[in-house]
Each structure stands twice: as structure tokens, then as C-alpha cells.
Structure 1
Amino acid sequence: MGIEVGGLLGLIWLIIVIWAIVKVAKSPAGGLAKLLWILVLLFFPLIGLIIWFLFGPKG
């Protein structure tokens, strides 16, 4: 049962990270800011999501 739960949680986490990347890509921020946010989300998924939720583009 542990593998199925871990796989499901991993899939949910992947969906959240992809959603955040799409939101960054659609934001009105400049190109360099978008690139930096996407790199942070890709290389540091947990910390990157927390930082993005706190300091990322609003609206």
C-alpha cells in the first residue's frame, strides 16, 4: 500500500508544480523574472513553491 500512496502523492505534487509553472508563464512579469521563477520551481520544488506562494506574482 505504501507504493500506491507515495505514487499518488508524487503525482499530486507534480501537478501542483506544473500548475505553478503555467501560472508563472502566463503572468505579466518580465521574461527574466519568469525564467528565474521557473528555474527556482524546477530546481527547488518544495522551497520554490513556498517562496512563490509568498512572494510570486499576485492576481
Structure 2
Amino acid sequence: MEIGIFGAIVLALDILAIYAIVTSRASGLAKFLWIVLVLLLPILGLIIWFVAGPRGAKLKT
């Protein structure tokens, strides 16, 4: 089964977004709803999260 480069990038970004959501200072319900959004709508949810998501812990790169 081939994912393709675009699918692999989206998967990696979704995992990064979920990690950032979990480590944010948002409430438990907000974290749950953001994670559900990112999982159900991988591309659109990711874009919405980057624009309006919880701002908490910064990712260390």
C-alpha cells in the first residue's frame, strides 16, 4: 500500500498538531474537540488548527 509523499506529509503534520494540542494549556474538552477535528478532517482540520488552534506550549525544533 502506497501512501505517497503528500499523504506522508499530511500524516506527519497531523501527528505534530496532535502533539501540540495535547501539550497545550487548553482545557480538556477543547483538546478533545481539536483532536477530533484534526482526525476527522485531516487537511482542513490541520489548516483550521494552524489558524485558530490553542496557543500553548511551543514546539521545540
TM-score (norm 1): 0.82
C-alpha contact (below 8 Å) 2:37/2:45 kept by paired residues: yes
- Alpha-carbon distance, 1:13 to partner: 1.3
- Alpha-carbon distance, 1:48 to partner: 0.5
Higher relative contact order (CA 8 A, sep 6+): 2
Specify which structure has the higher proportion of helix. 1
Q: Deviations over 1:25-59 (max 9, x none)?
A: 00000000000000000001111011111111224
Q: Which residue of 2 aligns with 1:49?
A: 46
* Alignment counterpart, residue 40 of structure 1, candidates 23, 37, 41: 37
Q: Distance in 1 between matches of 2:5 and 2:52?
A: 28
State the superposition RMSD in angstroms. Answer: 1.5
Please say which of residues 7-16 and 26-35 is displaced more in the overlay: 7-16
Q: Which runs of 5+ in 2 are unaligned?
A: 57-61
Q: Distance in 1 between matches of 2:25 and 2:8?
A: 28
AA partner of residue 22 (structure 1): Y
- Deviating beyond 6 angstroms after TM superposition, the runs of 4 or more aligned structure 1 residues are none
Q: Which of the pair has more CA radius of gyration? A: 1
Q: Which runs of 5+ in 1 are unaligned?
A: none
